[in-house]
A and B are shown apart, each in its own frame.
Chain A
Amino acid sequence: MPAKSATSRKIMLLAPLLLFLGLAYVVPFLGVVRWSFTLPEPGLGQYRALFTDPLVQSVFFRTLRICLIVTAASLTMAYAIAYVWVRGSSLQRTLAEFCILVPFWISVLTRAFGWLAMLSNRGLINTWLQSAGIIAEPLALARNEFGVIIGMTHFLIPFAVFPIASAMRSIDERVLLAARGMGASRTRIFWTIFVPLTYGGLIGAALIVFVFALGFFVTPAILGGGRSVMVAELVYLRIFQSPDWGLGAAISVVLVLFIGILLALMRRFIKPAHLVG
Chain B
Amino acid sequence: MPQSMHLGDSKAAEINAVSIGKTFGAFHALKNLSLDIGRGEFLTLLGPSGSGKTTFLMILAGFTAPTTGRLVMDGQDITNIPAEDRSYGMVFQGYALFPHLTVEQNIAFPLKVRGRSAADIKRKVGEMVARVGLGGHEKKLPAKLSGGQQQRVALARALVFEPAVLLLDEPFSALDKNLREMMQQEVKRLHQETGTTFVFVTHDQSEALALSSRVAIFNHGELLQVGRPQDVYERPANRFVAEFLGEINLLPLDTVSLEGDRAAGKFEERTIVLNRTMPMTGPNAVAAIRPEHMVICTEPQAADRNAITCRVEGATYFGASTKYHLTTRSGTSLAVSMPTAATSPIAPQTDVWVSWPMHQGFLLPAGS
Contacts and interface: CB of A to CB of B under 8 A. Distances in A.
Interface string A157-180: 000000000000000101101111
B85 A177 contact: no
Nearest to A177: B63
A172 B96 CA distance: 7
Given A174-B92, A188-B113, A181 B83 contact: yes
A183 B92 contact: no
Interface in B259-312: none
Interface string A180-213: 1111110010000100110100000000000000
Contact of B6 (A174, A177, A183, A197): A183
A179 B109 contact: yes
B80 to A, nearest CB: 16
Given A181-B90, A183-B6, A183-B85, A175 B110 contact: no
B92 A182 contact: no
Given A172-B94, A174-B94, A188-B113, A181 B100 contact: no
Contacts of B109: 179, 182, 184
Q: How large is the interface on B (under 10, 10 to 19, 20 to 34, 35 or more residues)?
A: 20 to 34
A55 B337 CA distance: 93
B244 interface: no
A24 to B, nearest CB: 42
Contacts of A175: 96-99
B100 A196 contact: yes
A179 B114 contact: no
B87 A182 contact: yes
Interface in B24-65: 61-63
B105 to A, nearest CB: 10
A197 B99 CA distance: 8
A181 B85 CA distance: 8
Contacts of B99: 175, 197
Contacts of A174: 92-94, 96
Interface in A69-118: none
Contacts of B110: 182-183
B353 interface: no
Interface in B110-158: 110, 113-114, 157
A176 to B, nearest CB: 9
Contacts of A197: 99-100
Looking at chain B's contact residues, is the secondary structure mostly helix, strand, loop, or mixed?
loop
Contacts of A179: 98, 109
Contacts of A177: 63, 83, 90, 92, 96
B247 interface: no
B218 interface: no
A178 B84 contact: no
Q: How large is the interface on A (under 10, 10 to 19, 20 to 34, 35 or more residues)?
A: 10 to 19
Looking at chain A's contact residues, is the secondary structure mostly helix, strand, loop, or mixed?
helix
B85 A180 contact: no
A183 B116 CA distance: 13
A185 B92 contact: no
A175 B113 CA distance: 15
A181 B81 CA distance: 12
Contacts of B89: 181
B324 interface: no
Contact of A183 (B87, B97, B98): B87
A196 to B, nearest CB: 5
Contacts of B172: none
B84 A180 contact: yes
A199 B84 CA distance: 26
A183 B9 CA distance: 12
Nearest to B85: A183
Given A174-B96, A175-B99, A197-B100, A180 B113 contact: no
A179 to B, nearest CB: 7
A38 B70 CA distance: 84
A183 B84 contact: yes
B63 A183 contact: no
A196 B100 CA distance: 7
A171 B186 CA distance: 30
Give the most central of A174, A179, A183, A193: most B CB within 10 Å: A183
A119 B84 CA distance: 47
A230 to B, nearest CB: 37
Contact of B83 (A180, A188, A196, A199): A180
22 contacts: A174-B93, A175-B96, A175-B97, A175-B98, A177-B63, A177-B96, A178-B90, A178-B92, A178-B97, A178-B98, A179-B98, A180-B84, A181-B62, A181-B84, A181-B87, A181-B89, A181-B90, A183-B85, A184-B84, A184-B113, A188-B113, A196-B100
Interface of A: 172, 174-175, 177-185, 188, 193, 196-197, 199
Interface of B: 6, 61-63, 82-85, 87-90, 92-94, 96-100, 109-110, 113-114, 157, 161
Given A172-B94, A181-B61, A183-B6, 14 more contacts: A174-B93, A174-B96, A178-B97, A180-B63, A181-B63, A181-B84, A182-B87, A182-B157, A183-B85, A183-B113, A184-B84, A185-B113, A188-B113, A197-B100
